[in-house]
Amino acid sequence: MKAAIITSPEAGPRYVDFREPEAGDGEAVISVTAAPISPIVRARAALKPVSDDGNGFVAGVDGVGRDASGRRVYFLFPKAPFGALAERTLVPAAMTVPVPDGLSDTRAAAVATAGLASWVALTRRVPIRAGQTVLVTGANGAAGRMALEIARHLGAGRTIAVVRSADKLDGLAADAGIALDARDADTALKTAFEAGVDIVLDFVWGPVAERVLAAATAGRGSPAGEPARTYMVLGTLGGATVPLSGYGLQSSGLDILGSGIGSVPVHDYLAGAGELMVAAQKAGWTLPFKVVPLADIASVWRRSAEVRYIVHPDRTG
């Protein structure tokens, strides 16, 4: 079969032949019909050690396909060395969930990969309460766009989009927007927190988080107590570390949490994927994605994350 193989993380994937998967007890061979190239796919491909036999491994952590019975399923975490970016893959049978009728394979893959982090964060890690205000950083990316939709769907009363520049605010489903290149951006952030922000979903971290955290903690320390706020780290596209003010945390009601595999059990992610796809089908959510053939994997591997690429192994163009 054809697959996107990593033999050198620095070089990215190659479109070559790879051995066929064979299912053992409790496993399923999935004929892949749609698999996303997401930031986590790129990150895991760059960090995962290459196999000792020199044959490498198949990239990709999730996707949509059909099992041996023909059932359409979304799957997570194929069994190494197999991955989602291939004609077929091998997964634990327990790591699949049905795709709802009416939701295409490519749309299901796009929605799940872009929306699962925020869905799990707002339903498992810190369940959102009706009427709360949610601020999303990196809101113009695929995951950020879905986070705004999901927050509103789950009951948010107000959403705030934070982006790098004003042009990135175009078309976002948010009640308010803050462009970080604006001269008054830091003042706007501080004003937003003074007005009330309950949950931050941060897909960026790094310098962006430093500015948002400063706005969230500046001038706090009321003797009557500060309102409780949750800052959830869902991604680190902008940097791996952030300097924190100990006093700022002491004097505010801010809790900083991570949300991801480990802080949330993997079975919750799978259940969340099923819930998310049902919600997407009913709500009619759409987001930018482009379907590309598996043969083009090398050319699209490092393109912008603002458009989610969905690989369709059977397509030739």
pLDDT tens digits along 141-168: 999 999 999 999 999 999 999 999 999 9
Q: Which domain holds residue 295?
A: 2-112+266-312
Tokens for 62, please give them.
Answer: 């999730």
- Same domain for 19 and 66, yes or no, is yes
Residue 244: inside a domain, yes or no? yes
Among 238, 258, 278, residue at a domain's last position: 258
- Same domain for 148 and 249, yes or no, is yes
- Same domain for 86 and 178, yes or no, is no
What is the number of structural domains in the chain?
2
- Same domain for 80 and 98, yes or no, is yes
- Same domain for 82 and 52, yes or no, is yes
Residue 117: inside a domain, yes or no? no
Tokens for 295, please give them.
Answer: 């043969």
Among 212, 236, 258, residue at a domain's last position: 258
Q: Would you state the pLDDT for residue 78?
A: 97
- Same domain for 131 and 230, yes or no, is yes
CB 98 within 8 A of CB 73: yes
Q: Write out residues in the chain with pLDDT < 70, as ranges.
A: 48-54, 304-306, 315-317
Q: Which residues contact 53 (CB under 8 A, 6 or more apart)?
A: none
Domain with residue 218: its CATH number is 3.40.50.720
Q: What is the pLDDT of residues 183-207, one digit of tens each?
A: 999 999 999 999 999 999 999 999 9
Place of tokens 């077929």: 88
Tokens for 269, please give them.
Answer: 């992610």
Residue 122: inside a domain, yes or no? no
- Same domain for 224 and 182, yes or no, is yes
Q: Would you state the pLDDT for residue 29?
A: 98
Residue 118: inside a domain, yes or no? no
Q: Would you state the pLDDT for residue 98?
A: 97
Residue 25: inside a domain, yes or no? yes
- Same domain for 9 and 46, yes or no, is yes
pTM of the prediction?
0.94
Q: Would you state the pLDDT for residue 114?
A: 94
Q: Would you state the pLDDT for residue 316?
A: 47
- Same domain for 107 and 219, yes or no, is no
- Same domain for 215 and 159, yes or no, is yes
Residue 218: inside a domain, yes or no? yes
Tokens for 40, please give them.
Answer: 């986590």
Residue 59: inside a domain, yes or no? yes
What is the spatial distance between Cα 315 and Cα 291, in angstroms, rounded to a whole number? 9
